[in-house]
Structure 1
Amino acid sequence: MDNLRVGTAFDAHQIQPGRECWIGGILHEGEDGCEGHSDGDVVAHAIVDAVLSAAGLGDLGSFVGVGRPEYENVQGVTLLRELRQLVDAHGVRVINASAQLIGQTPKMGPVREECERTLSEALGAPVSVSATTTDHMGFTGSGEGRAAIATALVQLGTKVPTSDT
């Protein structure tokens, strides 16, 4: 395949007691969520940034802006759907993405397949999800926050010409 590009990204948020916990595109009942203008889904945010990086289209801040009212509490899967439209319009095909949650909570093993299905559907490409802890070291280990790292593979120049172009 020609024109393959890889992007890598990192996202981190503080945990906010009492806030809903959206991680990997799904709600984790009984867990505190993450601070942020949107839903604080570090996994979805890292995937968005990785795809944008690979496609050469900037980052999450340039994609949706910072503090825009229409994105207050927006779901990570909504951002992935909008990202899909953006990359399609630029002739970029997402081949796959992979993200790893870094934190003590939530436990991802029992919901991994649901996260992967939800994120893959929103992005329009296969998404793999994994998780790790830092053995109680640092802000993720102490329960102060969560982080995620993601990688995406895209192919540039896949836009099909129309009769208008």
Structure 2
Amino acid sequence: MFTPTNTALPPDFDSRHFRHALSQFATGITVITTRLEDGTLLGLTASSFNSVSLDPPLVLWSLGDRAQSLSVFTGNSHYVVNVLAADQRHLAEQFASRTENRFQGVEYTLSRTGLPILKGASAWFECFNRSRYPEGDHVIFVGEVEQCAALDQAPLVFHQGQFLTSKAL
């Protein structure tokens, strides 16, 4: 029998169990890019990307509340969500690393607002930083898409802790 409550019940699992259950959901891999005021490029790997609305065109992604780049992404007016193609695993790893210059050796073009769009990305979305919502140990970013493009190639996918191409699923 269902008994409604006014608050969530405490979880009956630990974080390891929760992480394993989440790994059953295949996600695409993105690199979120922006630019600092001094012109320095910034990018990070994120798998927490999703569409929100067609009208207006909105997407979301999230970033840990302890990330060093949180203040940059919170304060900047724009960012680009680059959906990685199946052959871009190296970019997912490079932008997830602690390397100081994650753009070293990376080919990109600049958007109309001067932000990096990664060459060969399966798709990209240039977004106005519309809103941010702190939830749990992350901040959810909602971006209003101003420009986007798709190259119609297979995306890079993450499932059960492994990178895959969509053809392998």
With the length of structure 1 as denominator, give the TM-score of the two structures: 0.31
Report which of the two has the higher share of helix.
Answer: 1
Higher relative contact order (CA 8 A, sep 6+): 1
The structure carrying a bigger strand percent of its residues is 2
